[in-house]
A = this chain, B = another copy of it.
Amino acid sequence: MNSSTRVDEGEALWSSRSQRPLYEVKAGLFKGLAHPVRVRILEVLAHGDDVPVAQLLSETGLEASHLSQHLAVLKRHRLVASERRASQVYYRLAFAEVADLLAVARALLTEVLDAARTELAEADGLPALPAADATRS
């Protein structure tokens, strides 16, 4: 990756004057979502609002620092927001659209996986299976 043009990581998505082409910004957004742990976190947040880190910790079974790093990435991308109340920190999606994005992604995935399954079946001359539903998660 071209080092001179690099303006990323630190500012992640927005880059002050936003003179950056939108497709770069968009790619940055996807990069922020491009990790299993982060997707998991967002999905948990998409369900219950204002989730304490402790809960994320137990639901994901991750080590605190590891989880925290990913939360930091999500925060840099402004996909989540956090608030400290008493001794605990609570996280939530920064925008409802984040949940929308996950939903659309799931819809697309359903298509893709389904098509792939069908293709494989055809290739093997097998009948298509009843297709497991991807309604949840």
Using CB atoms and an 8 Å cutoff, list the residues of chain A in contact with chain B. 13-14, 16, 18, 21-27, 29-31, 33-36, 38-40, 43, 77-79, 94-95, 97-98, 100-102, 104-109, 111-113, 115-117, 120, 132, 134, 137
Contact = CB atoms under 8 A, between A and B. Distances in A.
B78 A29 contact: no
A123 to B, nearest CB: 12
Q: Count this chain's copies in the assembly.
A: 2
A25 B137 CA distance: 11
A43 B23 contact: yes
A43 B97 CA distance: 20
A108 B116 contact: no
Nearest to A107: B97
Given A13-B112, A29-B105, 7 more contacts: A13-B109, A22-B137, A23-B40, A23-B43, A27-B33, A30-B34, A77-B112
A122 B4 CA distance: 29
Given A34-B34, A104-B97, A39 B26 contact: yes
17 contacts: A18-B113, A22-B106, A22-B137, A26-B105, A30-B30, A30-B31, A31-B34, A34-B34, A77-B112, A79-B112, A94-B115, A95-B108, A95-B115, A100-B104, A100-B107, A101-B101, A101-B104
